[in-house]
Amino acid sequence: LANVSACDWYDEEFELAGLLIGLAVYNSVVLDVRLPVVLYKQLLGYVASLEAPGGADEPVDLDDPAYAINLDDLDDIDPDLAKGLRQLLAWSDGDVESVFCRTFVDDADGAPLVSSTSDATATDDAPHSPDDPVTEANRALYVRLLLEKRLVGDVAAQFAKFAKGFARVMKGASGMLHKLVDPRELALMVAGTPELDFELLRANTFYEGFGDRDPTTVPVVREFWRVVLDDFTEEERRNLLMFTLGTKTAPMGGFGALKPPQYAPFKIQRAGPDSDRLPTSHTCFNVLLLPEYDPPSKLGRMLRVAISNAEGFGLQ
């Protein structure tokens, strides 16, 4: 949602996007969709009120980056602006007003900077107007208001639709999420963790169709793990995950979490004797079907062809 320049989005589509994210959370489905953490902060209610959704009895430390909007959130969307604002806050070599020449407006659209979440003057020394220069004394206020505008105010209408779609799926549970997870944990529930430990995946793999044999000693299985661990590039490993699991990331908790009842385990199933058929998969069940190639050295070539030419459906 941070970058929609490639297409035109309408209110109903933001609501649909929220509904899809809600379905992913509700059904423990990992999506290859990286949304800004600030969006999850808003979904959990921390940004809108600058306090936890539970009210005054659950105050939030506004200096805690897990909750308050901050420059790390802006990094996800506009890293150049975030870098410039950090320089503004850290500047000590001369007069801030004459060096940065900023006033309380957003240079991108000329809009005045006013608080979208609370009384902007409640914790600052003096009120401000759009024509007031940014000085050493008020630069923190300027940065705070610009963050609120860019990350909250400018997308308020779209976020309201997104949140409505999310709540349609989660219903009453969406109001309880803040008691169970923080914003980064919710992001991991949706998109999984980018760190991939394939040794852990091997340790948690199930096997089917190999009869009374120890599947880990079957030549084609041993060749599979040799190719994946030693020969595949990082991109090929992620393509294998997409081919088999329907996502290029591991679920929250890593590959060790691929266990019932929350997730279907990763399973390698024998798909008959040696043949010239490519490996196939059932992504809904995390099953990879491998013919028992003979010689096993055929597997690397066949697997690369399969994962490089697979096309399914998903979010674009």
Each residue's pLDDT tens digit, 21-47: 999 888 888 888 889 999 999 888 876
Query: How does residue 230 score in pLDDT terms, banded at 50, 70 and 90?
Result: very high
- Beta pairing partners, 172: none
Mean pLDDT in residue range 129-144? 88
Q: What percent of the chain has pLDDT over 90?
A: 46
Marked catalytic residue, from 284, 285, 301, 305: 284
Confidence (pLDDT) at 54: 38
Q: Please provide the average confidence, as pLDDT, over all residues in the chain.
A: 83
d(CA 103, CA 81): 16
- pLDDT value of residue 18: 93
pLDDT at 273 exceeding the cut of 90: yes
pLDDT of residue 251: 85
pLDDT at 228 (0 to 100)? 96
Q: Could you tell me which of 186, 182, 219 has the C-alpha nearest to residue 293?
A: 219
d(CA 273, CA 179): 52
Torsion of CA 181, 43, 183, 76, to 10 degrees: 160
Residue with the bigger pLDDT between 289 and 27: it is 289
pLDDT at 81: 94
Overall average pLDDT of the 155-175 stretch: 84
Mean pLDDT of 129-155: 89
pTM: 0.69
- What is the band of 305 on the pLDDT scale with cuts at 50, 70, 90? very high
The pLDDT confidence band at residue 173, using thresholds 50, 70 and 90, is: low
Compute CA distances 280 → 8, 311, 312, whole Å: 36, 12, 12
Across 64-78, 118-132, 222-236, 254-268, least confident range: 118-132
Condensed to tens digits (0 to 9), the pLDDT of residues 236-269 reads 999 999 999 888 888 888 888 888 877 889 999 9
pLDDT in tens, 114-130: 765 444 443 444 556 88
pLDDT at 280: 95
Task: Name the band, by pLDDT with cuts 50, 70 and 90, for residue 287.
Answer: very high
Work out the average pLDDT over 77-102: 91
| Pair of tokens at residue 197 | 């430990």
Q: What is the pLDDT of residue 118?
A: 47
Question: Which pLDDT belongs to residue 59?
Answer: 40
Is pLDDT above 50 for 304?
yes
101 is catalytic: no
